[in-house]
Structure 1
Amino acid sequence: MFTIEQLQAFVATSEAGSFSAAARQLGRAQSVISQHIMNMELDCGVDLFERSGRYPTLTGKGRELLPYALATISQLDRLNNKASQLFSQPASQLILAVDEGIPLTRLPKALKNLEQQFPQLQVECLTASSPDIIELVKSERATTGIILSELQMPKNTDSCNLGHIGFDAFVSSEHPLANHNVKHIDELKQHRQLVIGSKNADNSGFNQAVSPDIWYADNYYILLELANKGFGWCFLPEHLVAHTPNTLVKVGEEFTKLAWQVNIDLIQHQKWHSDPLHQQARLELQTLFE
């Protein structure tokens, strides 16, 4: 019933918020986008967008159709990626981007196993915050990423869970909070918070800013050093604090009961999903936290 061009116009308009923005995103004329949407609505017999306001918004029927359109376009992308691999040489390079807050003591063994199966293997390792790694994989600068789990992922990436690590709130033993029995997170808002950010100013989905006074860094080692010198409190991986010389203490016995486990995910661009090297890399990297 629908063409791929119509579905792309429909999805782009819903995401971009206007026909003109969708046209720019797809590199088409606005009239073409509008016509695609109108043809879809004629075929459906219902309005997919409400046009009474300044910008088009999805109707109830449009919201019902959107997930199916997204799934169809995703499958088309997978088909195109698979087809392109049929006529190209298998990859020999693994570009691995890793969040510095994740322990990787078993990574050398995984890479050794991978090298034995792919003697021509070339590896490049990058470190960045998890939001930045998502962008590196999305842009294909990295072929594989190991990140602290995020709720929002780009449509062109695949992911699987590798395990989890513990986080808690820490502060210098010389900080006023060190001797204060914090019972609620609101009490922390009175003190500076040190927060993981990214190079494009996006914050991690699970490490949100709480205090009105915030200092940012894009890796946990900097956060640890700032906290160690008394500049503020922060959420840190427990393993990092345990294995790094510091004077940090957990924030209050009552508050530490709020400590949580954060999932670790492996992500890859969909174009590498069927590539032999990256398939095996997924298998090897899934042993990192067993």
Structure 2
Amino acid sequence: MFSVEQLHAFVATVDSGSFSAAARQLAKAQSVISQHIINLEIDCNATLFERTGRYPQLTQAGHKLLPHAQALLNQHQRLLNSALALNDSTPSEVTIALDEGIPFSAMASVVEELNNAYPNVTLEFLSASSLDVIDLLKQETPLTGIIFSELNLPTNLDYECIGSVNFDLYVAKSHPLAKQAVKNIDSLRLYRQLLIRSRNTQTSSFQLKVSPDVLFADNYYLLLQLTLQGHGWCLLPEHVAHEALQANELVRLPIEFEKMQWHANVDILQHQKYSDLAIFKTLRKLLRNIL
């Protein structure tokens, strides 16, 4: 019967595109990866890859096996993480990483209650874009992320939705767009867009690039300043834009389709290695009420 190692070799080959790349990904010799695939094909009594071209291509049988192999490996990793958490070893330090577009003021009661429940645990707070928080969680650190929902998340992260934050389109009062009613979103292609992206140049699944002319920043407060300086139009959280809006320095983009407001869901993310620990369960419970 096939082994977990064989399934890892199979899925890594599909993900990376070749046996040699899978070997590098899994820190194995290429011959070991090739033998795992051969043994898996023998156990399944089916050819999983076409090897006639430069790179291996999945056969019909390989396509059928792939989702089952991925699901089994995900469950195997969850089993390993659960086993590691059986002794419920509370870490001495817990990090909460927050997308700066999510209001930190809502965290005050959470900090106090968590400190009361775990007085010997040191809390650290980080501010980063949602995609950068996801990258931090990939490193298996004792971290809780509070991010704007993303469509694609690593399978070893647990998550739940805790509410939403309102977004809208803004420009500086001095910007040409502030003096006209835009007929539709397509009209915005004629003007520079200010867009959020992570430090490794990933863009959010809900922050779509519309204009061919773009300036990027990794946090919403930088985007706000760029917007106020008249560099372009931008999608911002309402609480980030509020003060400049009240000061009449910023305006909501005048648009004929009036209800353009976005509601971005906010998720809690934790690595499976820690999500079953009591302190992380407590933190999730406290965070459910902040929005």
How many residue pairs end up in the alignment?
289
Any gaps of 5 or more consecutive residues in structure 1? none
Normalising by the residue count of structure 1, what TM-score does the alignment of the two structures yield? 0.94
Q: Is the 8 A contact 1:168 1:256 kept in 2?
A: no
Aligned-partner Cα distance in 2 for 1:281–1:148: 18
**1:258 partnered with 2:255:** no
Q: Match of 2:241?
A: 241
Q: Match of 2:32?
A: 32
Q: Deviation string for 1:24-56 (max 9, x for gaps)?
A: 101111121112112222222222223233211
Q: Is the 8 A contact 2:82 2:272 kept in 1?
A: no
Q: Is the 8 A contact 1:150 1:204 kept in 2?
A: yes
Q: Match of 1:119?
A: 119
Please report how far the alpha carbon of residue 208 of structure 1 lies from its aligned counterpart in structure 2 after TM superposition. Answer: 2.2
Question: Which amino acid in 2 is paired with 1:56?
Answer: P
Q: Match of 1:47?
A: 47
Aligned-partner Cα distance in 2 for 1:142–1:254: 47
More displaced 10-residue stretch of structure 1: 136-145 or 14-23: 136-145
285 and 187 in structure 1: CA distance in 2 versus 1, 3 angstrom threshold: same
Aligned-partner Cα distance in 1 for 2:3–2:53: 27
**1:278 partnered with 2:280:** yes
Aligned-partner Cα distance in 1 for 2:141–2:183: 44
Please report how far the alpha carbon of residue 88 of structure 1 lies from its aligned counterpart in structure 2 after TM superposition. Answer: 7.0
69 and 57 in structure 1: CA distance in 2 versus 1, 3 angstrom threshold: same
RMSD: 1.7
Please report how far the alpha carbon of residue 287 of structure 1 lies from its aligned counterpart in structure 2 after TM superposition. Answer: 1.2
Any gaps of 5 or more consecutive residues in structure 2? none
Q: How does 1:56-71 map to 2 (within 5 A)?
A: 56-71=56-71
Please report how far the alpha carbon of residue 105 of structure 1 lies from its aligned counterpart in structure 2 after TM superposition. Answer: 2.5
Percent identity between matched residues is 48
Q: Deviation string for 1:243-266 (max 9, x for gaps)?
A: 445621122232443332111011
Aligned-partner Cα distance in 2 for 1:51–1:256: 56
Q: Match of 1:165?
A: 165
Q: Is the 8 A contact 2:147 2:266 kept in 1?
A: yes
Q: Is the 8 A contact 1:136 1:142 kept in 2?
A: no
Normalising by the residue count of structure 2, what TM-score does the alignment of the two structures yield? 0.93
Q: Is the 8 A contact 1:250 1:256 kept in 2?
A: no
2 and 243 in structure 1: CA distance in 2 versus 1, 3 angstrom threshold: farther
More displaced 10-residue stretch of structure 1: 202-211 or 45-54: 45-54
Please report how far the alpha carbon of residue 141 of structure 1 lies from its aligned counterpart in structure 2 after TM superposition. Answer: 4.6
Aligned-partner Cα distance in 2 for 1:171–1:243: 14
209 and 123 in structure 1: CA distance in 2 versus 1, 3 angstrom threshold: same
